Structure 1
Amino acid sequence: MDTRTNAILTVLLREYDFTHRSLADEVNRVSARIFGRPGAATDRDVRRWVSGALRWPHARYLLPLTEIFGRPPEALGFVPRGSSRPPSPPVPSRPGQEEPVKRRAFLTASTAASLALVLRLEETPVRGRLTTTIGRLDAHFTAIGGGALVAVATAYLAWLRDTADGCTYGPRVEQGLYSAISGLCSSAGWAAYDAGDEAASRLHHANALQSGILAKDGRAQARAWSDLSLQSRAEGHHREALSINRAALQSRQARHNPRIAALLHSRLAIGHARLGDRRACARSLLAAQSAHDRFDTTAPPPPWLRFLDAAEISGLAAIAHRATGQLPDAEIATAQALNLLGPTLHRNRAYYRVQLAELQLAQGDTARARATATGIDTAAVSSPRIAQRLTAIHHQLTAG
């Protein structure tokens, strides 16, 4: 019997901060809501899923797992037996008939509530738990995209602000709360950006900077400045983005933290490229690579910087090369990013495969562009922005 370890589920447990016992408890809670009776999963069941001893769990566990992690069974590392597929959840019989609008509203609320439950958004604003929760939001975004997170992050942010305003704290606790609010604003900003709502994204990133200043948290401010520079670039304000990046690079955090420096130098390179300065772009790319070489691999990065690895550095370099018209170099760097990506980063993989198809199409290689676009799997990705770009590629291929 093939009992290869389920590497994807192993990584997800770590990213979502689940133990075997806590995941079993979560499965049982979700199962109770779906099937109307409590589940019976134990930590032994979870160990069997992780070890690969059980490749396709029973429906009473599989449906809750797909809801908890927000992706289909295959994207969780499970392997179907023959024609096995997760059945639809049972529909409870109720007297009367629900209005369609109310039914849709219920489903939307249920999805948001389920995701909030999965991320374990606590009821008390305790600093340590807040940081862990925001880390789970960042991990969820990195894995599948921000489309599903917008409503949850925004609602949680509003609740946290109301709670903070209605309580009295000492200076240290207050600064800790503002630091947490800054991180949450950054997460909400990225979710809104991925969903294509640039106005909401800019507002969240600006609030992240304001809260970071109130918290006197240099790292939160550096993160907010970095996000604002990307926001300006997305809106076509390339010189503004360049100025923000330069200012952020002068901060103490950028000077002493190679990860922050690598991110800022990479984005600075894109800014120079958009303004047509190839030499400055090349210098910034070299500085980003140099900062990457100084990463402390013995210490885990903060959750919001976990996405920044060799794959992301290559992907950002590809964007810079593309902006300067060096399409072959951009294609090589994009392919390198795809080769280096981890197995659970479904959003980034879809993003860079879309980028690869765009580059191939721009160079007139329609055959390879079509093959690349056809092979893009968005089933486990929640990103309207990526979906729109993929649709545009298919339209170009059809028109050609």
Structure 2
Amino acid sequence: MAETRNEHLTAWMKDAGMSAAELADAVNEAIRDLTGRPGVTSERTVFRWKSGENRWPQARQRRALEAITGRTVADLGFVPRGKGTTNPVPPTAPPEDPVHRRRFVGAATSTAAAVAVPRITRPPRVGTSDVIRLRDSVENLVALDAERGGHTALERAALAGADEALGLQRRSTTQRVRQRLFAVSSDFVATAAWSLIDAGQLDAAGKHLDRALTLAGMAQDPDMTMQVWNLRAMLARQRKDYGEAIAAAQAAQATTVARRSPLHASLVCARTAIGLAHAGDHRAALRSLGRAEDALEKADLADPRAPWIAFYGPAELYSLTAIVRDVVGHPTEAEAAAYRALSALPETYRRNRAHTTARLALAQLHQGDAEQACATSADIFTIMDGDPLPGRMRQLLGDFQRDLFTLAPSAHVAHEWTDRYRNEWSIP
């Protein structure tokens, strides 16, 4: 009978970002935790699982797979030998929710090992399950950033995560896992840097980016390297050092991941366009923006991606387009792009929605419609729902007020806007 490819296991591995070798390592580590002796699962074994050549792993491997994934072996696409005649599928516990899985992978397997083999007293082995747990933590911080924006508590949490990853890296483990932990550390430190950029604390953010770039190099991870250069471009723009912003964005373009991934290429082309627009090279900015649009059309948005770039897609490109178009003197096109961004942004991206609303208000103001611009900008405070505005957003509202009085110095609406909102946007 022809073999049937195990699409369920393949999909889980793709979603988790795990290679066959990494899953084999994780299974062997879980078997060690469960029995006291490491498993002997090979990369070839995982390929045989994926191809359907081996449709029913050994008992210890099945238990390890369930511990790692939080899913039953049936949910992972495995079926017992002779299904339909003998050997029915043994009962298993229902799949666990992601929060429980993270706790289980990090702690419960070692507890089970202590019960099954009480004589084992060695420290727990560091492995792929630790990397998965830390990646989940990064993802949680990224979600918090999207909801509230950058703040010092988020920075502290990210740095604590980096310290934990580096501490695990120093313990006995495989070279592959060691590099993964360096990559996660870089991700945590870059997240801390971004939090400070968004909060407007630029000097400390630069120091974090230097450290994150070093860690990305030690990890030999082009994705993390590109993330740092992307943030370096954003930091330079906040400092109004547009030459450095362009150079950092071009460094991001030169990374391996940007050369092979249309999604990453689109982001760095858009980032380059912003730097060029602010530097006054408007034609080059629009050409780079066009390349960003072309690249995004080629990207498969359903592909798994790192948490740091999960925000990027059509909505974010529309938002960046609004910035470029407004800076080069096309406020009508900027307004249209901002509206497209707002219609496409997920509701959970509250900070991004507020920031794009501010760009929309600026585009309206630059068309001479001060009254509409003031009404639009008022939505920012509703969107943020009483949370403090991140420093980057407060700076943008400061630009709005400056342009408001420049373009409509005697208008009653300008004074009314300032009287009503000054305290809300000017206080950290």
With the shorter chain as reference, the TM-score category is: 0.5 to 0.7
Q: Are 1:150 and 2:155 counterparts?
A: yes
C-alpha deviation, 1:168, in angstroms: 4.1
- Give the 5 Å matches for 1:1-400: 126-147=130-151, 148-161=153-166, 163-164=167-168, 167-376=171-380, 377=382, 378-379=384-385, 381=387, 383-385=389-391, 386-390=393-397, 393=400, 396=404, 397-398=414-415
Whole-angstrom CA distance in 2 between matches of 1:158 and 1:232: 27
Alignment CA distance shift 1:389-1:375 (3 Å): same
CA contact (8 A) 2:163 2:185 kept: no
8 Å contact 2:187–2:212 — kept in the other structure?
yes
Superposed CA deviations along residues 18-74 of structure 1, whole A, max 9, x for unmatched, are: xxxxxxxxxxxxxxxxxxxxxxxxxxxxxxxxxxxxxxxxxxxxxxxxxxxxxxxxx
Check the 8 A contact 1:145/1:381 in 2, yes or no. Answer: no
Residue type matched to 1:152 in 2? A
Aligned-residue offset at 1:363: 3.2
With 260-269 and 246-255 compared, the bigger mean Cα shift is at: 246-255
1:317 CA displacement: 1.0
1:43 aligned residue: none
Matching residue's letter, 1:184: F
CA distance in 1, matches of 2:141, 2:386: 16
Report the Cα distance in structure 2 between the residues aligned to 1:243 and 1:252, rounded to whole angstroms: 17
In structure 2, C-alpha distance between the alignment counterparts of 1:189 and 1:383, rounded to whole Å: 17
Q: How much has 1:337 moved relative to structure 2?
A: 1.0
Residues 391 and 281 of structure 1: is their aligned pair in 2 closer, same or farther, counting only changes over 3 Å? Answer: closer
- Asked whether the 8 Å contact 1:259–1:305 carries over to 2, the reply is no
Q: Is the 8 A contact 2:165 2:184 kept in 1?
A: no
CA contact (8 A) 1:142 1:345 kept: yes
| CA–CA separation in structure 2 for the residues paired with 1:345 and 1:375 | 15
Q: Is the 8 A contact 2:169 2:178 kept in 1?
A: no
**CA apart distance, 1:302:** 2.1
Q: Percent identity?
A: 31
Structure with larger RCO (C-alpha < 8 A, sep 6+):
1
SS in 2 for 1:300: coil
Aligned length: 282
One-letter identity of the residue aligned with 1:177: L
Looking at structure 2, the residues matched to 146 and 188 of structure 1 have their Cα atoms a distance apart, in angstroms, of: 9
Q: Give 1 or 2 for the bigger CA radius of gyration.
A: 2
Check 1:165–1:295 CA distance in 2 against 1; reply closer, same or farther (3 A cut). Answer: closer
3-state SS, counterpart of residue 149 of structure 1: helix
1:350 maps to amino acid: A
Is this contact kept in 2: 1:229–1:241, CA < 8 A? Answer: yes
TM-superposed deviation, 1:391: 6.3
The aligned counterpart of 2:57 is none
1:288 maps to amino acid: A
- Cα distance in 2, alignment partners of residues 141 and 382 from structure 1: 13
Measure how far apart 1:394 and its partner are: 6.1
Farther off after superposition, 362-371 or 186-195: 362-371
Deviation string 1:342-398 (CA, Å, 9 cap, x unpaired) is: 122111111111121223233331210121122222117554222454466468522
**Post-superposition shift, 1:260?**
0.7
State the secondary structure of the residue aligned to 1:298. coil
Q: Which residue identity is paired with 2:204?
A: A
For the Cα contact (< 8 Å) 1:346–1:380, is it kept in 2? Answer: no
Distance 1:393 1:272 in 2: 21
TM-score w.r.t. the length of structure 1 is 0.65
- Aligned amino acid, residue 226 of structure 1: N
Which one-letter code corresponds to 2:136 in the other structure? T
Give the residue type in structure 2 aligned to 1:180: V
Distance 1:383 1:153 in 2: 20
RMSD between superposed Cα atoms in Å: 2.7
Query: Quick check: 1:373–1:394 contact (8 Å CA) kept in 2?
Result: no
Contact 2:301 2:313 survives alignment (8 Å): no
1:220-268, CA deviations, whole angstroms, 9 ceiling, x for partnerless residues? Answer: 1111111111111211111122122223212221111111101000011
Q: What secondary structure, in the 3-state scheme, does the structure 2 residue paired with 1:299 have?
A: coil
